Structure 1
């Protein structure tokens, strides 16, 4: 742009000299070229300068818009910063509140857990005491029944001894009557001995029975001295047979027989055999028999009696392998009696005491369903 202007001024300055030297045609041509140059200059001004001005104006407007946007962003950033600060303060207050509430709730939960555990221990103690009391009463009842059986056996032994003595006395009197009624001249000595021995061996049964009944009904009548001396020996024999424990072979046979009856569904017939084994066997066999007594009662739906048998194993043989199984079946018996709270206590006690046993896993499963 500056170069054409410079050329134009240069031509203007040298024009006088050129006029003098050049012809008219050259001047016209030079003017024509000057007009073309001027027109180009005008075109350049109109196009290039205008576009530059428009671009500058647009750029200026964009700069203003950018400055406004930047100012707005700065304002938003400041607001965001202040908001973040307030949120941080609120978060600190909220954390402090949550921490305080959590500590309070933890203290309450610990206190509630302690109260619950204390209540559970008290309930377990009461339950154990009640079960032990029931077991003691049952054992006393069993002892009373056994004592009654012994007394009945003694009474029968006394009656048998008395009847035998009366029969003996009656046979002696019958023999003496026969001896007095038979003449010695009509019978030989060997025949007399045969008749006397036969009379002694076969006294009249109707009279003996009547006299025995009379002696039993009338307590005032006293037996003879020989009967009094012989009665204790006869009396003690059945008592000894009642109290004599069964041998190992007999216990094993009874247990096997009871087991066969149990497996055949004859629980009522199996129960007394298991009871005999439990009363007359060693600890291990006795515990097994006691457990099977509980199983027999459980299958007969006599759940309260079954609970007593299981409790005997739990309280007196806690180290035996049957103890976890007895606790599990005891809880199941309480479930059958619709006492779910007691069943829960027993299941928890089983899990706590025998946590690694299969019965504990079963107890955990049943506990989740209660």
Structure 2
């Protein structure tokens, strides 16, 4: 079977190679999946980098934190040959071989049956980024967000998480304000349903005032850092922010004042270790609430050989929307 394998050189740096490997070398697991598609997320870019982004511990390594395909063999009664499945998270592709290969072997507990209405390619157009976006929207709704409350901000909107969040929120009837540092992406974001485009420069500077005008009823934040600190001071009373990323830094130079005087909620969104029932709930919502025409419009196609270049690009913020990887091409 063909796979993208990261091999570590004598200098300690890893290099990607497309090569044939024996399926017998796959890690232990309950279920063997014939992979149809994988995708590219920020974490994949880290795993594809020469030092593994601090995520890869041992080499040789097959990256790919997501995949979708067909069960080939199963020792678990929950899955039988021919079942369509999707996997995201569980450290697959990080400390365990992942989806950048024609086959993968994993624990049955990590697999979700592919929801009706989604193809394996659709599922990887969603991937971890879109799955995380859906979790973020669900968390905001669980904390009281509804379309009548006012506009919802999406930061890093042209990225994978932001693109899917924008499309989902717009489809659900929310007024979406999309933040981007790439003005040329304005038309793209409006095609996903964004009502307004907010230049990154308008939010990426900290201010001395802990509170500003109450502006946003909710926020999906993929940036973190100074922008998140600024946004917290602009949230409406009782509003929530779903924090999904740290493209702008892991620090948070914020004040507690928005939490104390406006009851603002900061909701941490983890997609890696989500319980299986919430995974099923999120994937069912994706199938219901993410318009496939919008999803297809944010996708670029790739093969295994494209991944080293794309991996470097996504780390620099150079990838728009979602990337679907045909591992058999």
User: Structure 1 length normalisation: TM-score?
Assistant: 0.18
Q: Which has the higher helix share?
A: 1
User: Structure 2 length normalisation: TM-score?
Assistant: 0.19
Q: Which has the higher strand share?
A: 2
